[in-house]
Amino acid sequence: MLEKATTTWKDVLEFPIRGRQQKPRQAGLTMVIDKGLGLTEFRDLLEVAATYIDFIKLGFGTSVFYPAAILREKIRLARSYNVDIFPGGTFFEVAVLQGRLNLYLQTARDLGYTFIEISDGTIDMSRTVRLAAVRQARAAGFGVITEVGKKDPRDALSAAYLLNQIAGDQEAGADYVIVEGRESGQGVVIYDGRGAVKEDILASLLAGIKDPDRVIWEAPQKQQQQALIMRLGPNVNLGNVQPGDVLALEALRVGLRGDTLRTTLKVAEVS
């Protein structure tokens, strides 16, 4: 049993970047992508870092491969730490393709997931079907996260199209809209083939997004997290964060890492 320390580092040092929201928070959300952690790793992650995690996504269709009791326990554990949990959007897309959305939602509810991701990153889906799915998931008692953007760079959509989709999803009742970044962070929406932020499309999106606190930017790479924090502040919503990167991202958000600290330093502060 660990002894409770009387003094913590937070009593000793101030964060160089101020204003980071604490849970339960309205913005500054961190969504982790879990590609198959075992129970021990999952419990460790939550024990150490649940304060800094708002959502865990069980990526793509990985939900299907867990022994039933382990999947239920992962979901129960996440909820016990006040972390919302949902299956990946690709899994939803397969359910739609197979005409089994009702059963998908019923099963997700039975298992205890708290949110549903609605996406069309791989399949074609009409606006009518998409918005009906948002309403159906809401009516089934889930929080709803939609995703915009195609996974294949050859299918890239214009900023105007994406903005229209974001506004439509939010009006239809989506709690949050994810901007696709994939697990790689390469060659999709705001990232070029090497993962650098494409300033022109990011600027167009930022100019048109009406409710930025309800948009989550998938940003699996450190350079992407850093660029978005420098641009939008410590309370930017970030997704597809690797489980092992949660504390490192938190350090980036508040300036406890050289990459963001250096931008807050003034000559007077270091002389």
Is 60 an interacting residue with respect to ligand L3UKIRZJ (CB under 6 A)?
yes
Phi, psi values for residue 12, rounded to 5°: -100, -45
253 binds ligand L3UKIRZJ per the rule CB under 6 A: no
Nearest CA among 262, 248, 249 for reference residue 218: 249
Q: Residue 17 or 197: which CB sits closer to ligand L3UKIRZJ?
A: 197
Site for ligand L3UKIRZJ in 69-108 (CB under 6 A): 88-90
CB 134 within 8 A of CB 166: no
Among 81, 114, 125, 183, which residue sits at the site for ligand L3UKIRZJ (rule: CB under 6 A)? 183
Name the one range near ligand L3UKIRZJ by CB under 6 A: 107-115, 133-141, 175-183, 208-216. 175-183
CB of 57 to ligand L3UKIRZJ, least distance (A): 6
Ordered strands of the 55-58 beta sheet: 84-87, 55-58, 30-34, 238-241, 215-218, 176-179, 143-148, 115-118
Q: Is position 242 an interface residue for ligand L3UKIRZJ (rule: CB under 6 A)?
A: no
126 burial class (0-12, 13-18, 19+ CB within 10 angstroms)? exposed
Can the peptide bond before residue 212 be classed as cis, meaning omega within 30 degrees of 0?
no
Q: Which stretch binds ligand L3UKIRZJ (CB under 6 A): 46-54, 76-84, 176-184, 222-230?
A: 176-184
**∠ CA 138-139-145, rounded to 5°:** 10
Q: Is 121 in the site for ligand L3UKIRZJ (CB under 6 A)?
A: yes
Closest among 136, 118, 227 to 176, alpha carbons compared: 118
Applying the rule CB under 6 A, the residues between 210 and 239 that interact with ligand L3UKIRZJ are: 218
Binding mask 124-163 for ligand L3UKIRZJ (x = CB under 6 A): ---------------------------x------------
Count the neighbouring beta carbons within 10 Å of the beta carbon of residue 263: 13
Give whichever of 47 and 152 is closer to ligand L3UKIRZJ, judged by the CB atom: 152
